[in-house]
Amino acid sequence: MSEVVATNETIMVVGGGISGLTAALEAAECGKQVLLIEKAPTVGGRVGQLYKYFPKLCFPTCGLEIQYRRLKANKNIRLMTMTEVAGISGEAGNYSVDLKVAPRYVNENCTACGDCANAVEAEVDDAHNYNMKKTKAAYLPHNMAYPQRYVIDPSIIGTADADKAKAACKVGAVDLEMQEENLSVTVGSVIWATGWKPYDAAKIQPYGYDRYDNVITNVEFERMMDPKGPTGGKIQRADGTTPKNIAFIQCAGSRDRNHLKHCSRICCMASLKQTTYVAEQLGDECKSTIYYIDIRAIDRIDDFHQRVKQDPNVSFVKSKVANIVGGSDGNVVLRGVDTEGYNRYANEHDLVVLATGMQSTVPTGIFPEGTVINEHGFIDLDESNGGIFGAGCSSDALDVNRAAQNATAAALRAIQVVNQVAGTEG
């Protein structure tokens, strides 16, 4: 890795999700040098795990494909996957960044032919599917993975399986001797775009995510829609039967001082969107009920909200569900009070989708002293941050459109820093 090309005129973008990709591409297409760092074996991030986007109900992979094409065509971007940032020191225009590169055990010779996966027997949790299914221990994370290169799970290193993978590879791409590498680079500016993770639903004790099979999260529901996903593209209950009466619980972990204080912004629209999945797949055979405090379908996407409200199979209850108890046949009973006129309910549903919030993944302890990370874990836009800028969901809970917008703005701010280094600014 000694050939890593980065100078104090380089912009380092950390995170290869939609925000990081956008920031990297927008900067690179202005002629700037970009080092793009991604922890996972592939870029694409959370959006690659979604079925559709609101409000157009189009497919996230469509936009990813464009970004990939831009990425492949742009020689200004240097992409490092399976790489994490261990520490950043220095100041705007001159940061020293420690990187840790995990071994992929597959080199750039890989043609993604799949022979290694066929040879390997062990299976590991499939992170792309939120561990709802297994994948071979030699795997391509998903069809839209980029780089299009397999990964060998470290758990089989030293086993016969790993040797089988190596033997199966006809192009010499499997390298079982790969080691973790540490390196240090100099960059001029940092765009932090590591995105979000779904809030751990098991922590919301009254909802029993850890106790009831038919209480799932919104991100898991998204995976159900993928024909290659854990349910083969079917909306189903834990026992494989088709639900008839789904509940969506908003603010599951958001707007709640016991969990995440902030509003996660996207979950209202996400649940509204998911009712359209139900309508698309199950039609009149399944009802959807949204339990909410405020429906935050802000600005002109409110028309999507209005459209869903027209659907006779979707109903709304203004209530934060108090708790969930077990019912018969794997069903659960939601208890609470409809606050519009105080109607106590104990509603039985056969599937519950928790609209779990967005938790920031901004780490603590690796940024230079004085970097402002607010109490919600987001990086504020603050002069004392020097040349470090949060982008996308590292700056606030944002939807894709706003994340892309924000990442574009972050790219400009980073360009201003490196221009200053180059002496071409104002």
Partner 1 sequence: MADMKIGAYICKGCGIEDRLDVGQLVNTAKRDGKAAIGKDHEMLCNAEGVKMIQDDITNEGVTHVVVVGCSRRAKTEAFSFEGVHINRTNIREGVIWVRPDTDEARETTQEMADDYVRMGCAEAKFSKVPASSGEQGLTRSLLVVGGGLAGLTATIEGAKTGYSVELVNASGELGGSSAREYKRIPHKNGLQGPVDNDIDQLIAAVNDNARITVHLNTTITKTDGAPGRFSVELSDGKSLTVGAIVQATGSKPYDMANLPEFSPENPDVMDQGQFEAMVKANNGAIKKSDGSDARNVVFVQCAGQRSEKPGHLPYCSGHCCMTSIKQAHYVKAAGGDATVIFDDLRTPGATGEDFYRSGQEAGVAFSKGEVASVKAAGGALEVGYTDKILAEESTIKADIVVLATGQIPNSGPNPYLPIELAQAKEDKDDALVAKIEAELEVQPQPILNLNYRQGTDLPHLKHGFNDSHFICFPYETRRTGIYAAGPVRRPMDDQQAVEDATGAVLKAIQACENSALGRAAHPRSGDLSFPSFRKDGCTQCKRCTVECPFGAINEDEQGYPQYNEGRCRRCGTCMGACPVRVISFENYSIDTVGQQLKAVDIPDEFDEKPRILVLACENDAYPALDMAGMNRTEYSAFARVVPVRCLGSVNVIWITDALNSGYDGIILLGCQKGDNYQCHFVKGSEMAHIRMSKVDETLKTLNLEKERVGTYEVAITDVDKIPQIINDMEKTIGEIGMSPFKF
Partner 2 sequence: MSEMNQAMIEKYRSNFLQEVEANVEEGHWVKMCMQCGVCSGSCPMENNWDHPPQELFMMIRANKRDEVLSSSSMWMCTSCYNCIARCPRGLPITHIMHGLASYGKRMGLAPKEQPTVKFGDIFWKSIVENGRVNELKIGVGLYFMNGFVQGIKNALAGKELGLAMMKTKRMNPMEYFGGHKCKDRSGIAKMLAKAAEFEAEHVAKFGK
Q: Which is nearer to partner 1, 114 or 154 (CB)?
A: 114
Q: Which is nearer to partner 2, 121 or 340 (CB)?
A: 340
Q: What distance in Å separates the CA atoms of residue 78 and residue 34, rounded to the nearest whole number?
A: 6
52/320 with CB nearer partner 2: 320
31 binds, options partner 2, partner 1, none, Cβ within 5 to 8 A by partner type: partner 1
Q: CB nearer to partner 2: give 58 or 322.
A: 322
282 phi and psi angles, rounded to 5 deg: -115, -5
Residue 257 Cβ vs partner 2, minimum distance, rounded to whole Å:
5
Rounded CA-CA distance 330/102 in Å is: 42
Minimum CB separation of residue 272 from partner 2 in Å reads 19
Return the one option of partner 1, partner 2, none that residue 307 interacts with (CB less than 5 to 8 A, by type): none
Please, which residue, 234 or 335, has the CB nearer to partner 2? 335
Whichever of 184 and 323 has its CB closer to partner 2, that residue is 323
Least Å distance between CB 206 and partner 2?
Answer: 7
238 binds, among partner 2, partner 1, none (CB under 5 to 8 A by kind): none
**Which one of partner 1, partner 2, none interacts with residue 306, CB within 5 to 8 A by kind?**
partner 1
- From partner 1, partner 2, none, which one binds at residue 180 (CB under 5 to 8 Å depending on kind)? none
Nearer to partner 1, 180 or 294 (CB): 294
Residues 85, 98 contacting (CB under 8 angstroms): yes
171 binds, among partner 1, partner 2, none (CB under 5 to 8 A by kind): partner 1
Assess contact for 316 and 289: CB atoms under 8 A.
yes
| Dihedral angle, C-alpha 313, 318, 320, 325, nearest 10 ° | -40
Three-class SS of the chain = CCCCCCCCCEEEEECCCHHHHHHHHHHHCCCCEEEEECCCCCCCHHHHHCCCECCCCECHHHHHHHHHHHHHHCCCEEEECCEEEEEEEEECCEEEEEEEECCCCECCCCCCCCHHHHHCCCEEECHHHCCCCEEECEECCCCCCCCCCCEECHHHCCCHHHHHHHHHCCCCCECCCCCCEEEEEEECEEEECCCEEECCHHHCHHHCCCCCCCEEEHHHHHHHCCCCCCCCCCCCCCCCCCCCEEEEEEEECCCCCCCCCCCCCHHHHHHHHHHHHHHHHHHHHCEEEEEECCCCCCHHHHHHHHHHHHCCCEEEEECCCCEEEECHHHCEEEEEEECCCCEEEEEEECEEEEEECEEECCCCCCCCCCCCECCCCCECCCHHHCCEEECHHHCCCCCHHHHHHHHHHHHHHHHHHHHHHHCCCC
Q: Which is nearer to partner 1, 286 or 391 (by Cβ)?
A: 391
Partner from partner 2, partner 1, none contacting 337, C-beta within 5 to 8 A by type:
partner 2
Closest contact distance (angstroms) between CB of 229 and partner 1 is 12
Distance CA 129, CA 231 (A): 10
Q: Provide the minimum distance between the beta carbon of 324 and partner 1 in the complex, in angstroms, as a whole number.
A: 24
Which residues of the shown chain bind partner 2 in the complex (CB under 8 A)?
206, 251, 255-259, 293, 318-323, 335-339, 342, 344
Nearer to partner 2, 135 or 254 (CB): 254
Q: Specify the residue, 105 or 146, whose C-beta has the smaller distance to partner 1.
A: 146
Cβ at position 184, least distance to partner 1 in Å: 25
Q: Which does 112 bind (CB under 5 to 8 A by kind): partner 1, partner 2, none?
A: partner 1
Report the partner that residue 320 touches, choosing among partner 1, partner 2, none (CB closer than 5 to 8 A by kind).
partner 2
Q: Give me the least distance between CB of 323 and partner 2, in Å please.
A: 7
8 Å CB contact between 391 and 407: yes
For residue 294, the minimal CB distance to partner 2 (Å) is 8
C-beta of 2: minimal distance to partner 1 in Å?
18
Tell me which of partner 2, partner 1, none is bound by residue 74, counting a contact when its beta carbon lies within the kind-specific cut-off of 5 to 8 angstroms: partner 1
In the complex, the smallest distance separating the C-beta of residue 65 from partner 1, rounded to whole angstroms, is 5
